[in-house]
């Protein structure tokens, strides 16, 4: 359940950053920070899944 919520939040963050990047009036600094945020979000979601898969069902 927790990884599912993490994926939903991660997809929301990525969607917001893509919307920011696609705005023609956004500054270069904002676009760079949006790309960094997308990268960190993807890494965090992957890390969340790798840790969640190592937990045995009996420990929940």
Looking at the whole model, is its pTM more than 0.75? yes
Domain spans of the chain, in order of start: 2-50
Inter-residue contact 35 to 20 (CB < 8 Å)? no
Output 10-16 pairs: Cβ under 8 A, ≥24 positions apart: 10/41, 10/42, 10/44, 10/45, 13/37, 13/38, 13/41, 14/38, 14/41, 14/42
The fraction of the chain above a pLDDT of 90, given in percent, is 70
Q: Is the pLDDT of residue 57 over 90?
A: no
Q: State the pLDDT at residue 56.
A: 66
pLDDT digits over 1-29, tens only?
778 899 999 999 999 999 999 999 999 99
């Amino acid at each position: 359940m927790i990884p599912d919520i993490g994926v939903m939040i991660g997809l929301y963050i990525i969607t917001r950053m893509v919307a920011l990047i696609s705005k023609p009036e956004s500054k270069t600094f904002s676009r760079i920070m949006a790309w960094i945020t997308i990268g960190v979000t993807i890494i965090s979601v992957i890390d969340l899944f790798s840790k969640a898969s190592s937990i045995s069902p009996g420990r929940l």
